[in-house]
Amino acid sequence: MYMRIVEANIKKGQGTWLERVYEDSILHSLQETPGCVFAGLMYSIDSSNKYLSLTIWKSEKDAGNYVNSGEFTKNIELINPVLEESIEWKIRLSKSDILEYEPVTVNPVVKSYPIFGNKNPMPDEIPVSNNYMRVLSLTLKPEHTDEFNSIYKEKILPELKKVKGCKYAFLIEDTNKSNEILSFTIWDNPESIKEYETQGKFHSFLESIRHTLGELYQWKMSLEENSDSKKSVTSQDADIKTFTLVTGKNFI
């Protein structure tokens, strides 16, 4: 299995338009594309203008064929009118010696990941409303990758299934970043996520795999345990993002 994530920032007030185009056109296009088994549009709770399109494929080859066929480009062109313009500008001198300013459109960011150990990493039925996806990124020590996977599958995953509001969880490896692991969980509501993060359960899970995390994270934890301020940031911190599912569909 293979996952592609397309992140895009859109212009203010254009979310409804994007959601309609995705559901009416892009979902239909992906459903007709060989090898695509799931597609969903998600709205970022953390950033008011960020959307994420998540697709799951039978293989990396199927995902590549989709891109090479030109269908991906066609789908991107559908949303081009609402893509946010960056704060950067192209400046050029016109034939009449007048400076012209042209805003640069921010292109969507595409990330791809192989999925291991799960033939169908998304639930068979995903209601459109009241679903929230939490993405946790962790950087591991290379020699502890297998141990981390074992702890996650044998200890953390069974306990996650018991957490109130948590409906589904799966783990993927980010091949674009060395030793980075992404944990995806789907929730009923943001209140359950907040309770999970603040009532100690998440931190107990993090403590159980702490020894497998990168050296910068280990240094941070040691510093905070011996500091009154307990504030430090490293490039290997656990990165958490939350999205709400706007529309999604399984094609299998």
pLDDT tens by residue, 24-68: 999 999 999 999 988 888 888 777 788 888 888 888 899 999 999
**Across the chain, where does the E strand assignment appear?**
2-9, 36-44, 50-57, 85-93, 99-105, 109-114, 132-139, 166-174, 180-187, 239-250
CATH 3.30.70.100 domain span(s) along the chain: 1-114, 123-244
Give the C-alpha separation, 104 to 127, whole Å.
37
CB 114 within 8 A of CB 2: yes
What integer pLDDT is reported at residue 72 of this predicted model? 92
Question: Is 123-244 assigned to CATH 3.40.640.10?
Answer: no
Q: Residue 146 pLDDT more than 80?
A: yes
Which ranges in the chain belong to alpha helices (H)? 15-21, 27-31, 60-68, 71-79, 145-151, 157-160, 190-198, 201-208, 215-225
Give the C-alpha separation, 185 to 119, whole Å.
17
CB 188 within 8 A of CB 245: no
Give the C-alpha separation, 8 to 1, whole Å.
23
Buried b (16+ CB within 10 A) or exposed e, 163-196: bebbbbbbbbbbeeeebbbbbbbbbeeeebbebb
Give the bridge partners for 54, in sequence order: 5, 40
Poorest-confidence range of 29-38, 68-77, 83-92? Answer: 83-92
Sorted by sequence, the CB contacts under 8 Å of residue 136 that are 6+ apart come out as: 182, 183, 184, 185, 238, 239, 240
In CATH, what class is 1-114? alpha beta
Burial environment of residue 143 by CB neighbours within 10 A (0 to 12, 13 to 18, 19 or more) = exposed
Residue 55 region by backbone torsions, left for phi larger than 0, else alpha for psi between -120 and 50, else beta: beta
Give the C-alpha separation, 61 to 165, whole Å.
35
Sorted by sequence, the CB contacts under 8 Å of residue 169 that are 6+ apart come out as: 157, 160, 161, 183, 184, 185, 186
Q: What is the DSSP letter of 28?
A: H
Cα 97–chain centre separation: 46
Please state the rounded mean pLDDT for residues 216-226: 43
Please state the rounded mean pLDDT for residues 195-200: 87
**189: helix, coil or strand?**
coil
Band (pLDDT 50/70/90 cuts) for residue 110 is: confident
pTM of the model: 0.66
Sorted by sequence, the CB contacts under 8 Å of residue 199 that are 6+ apart come out as: none
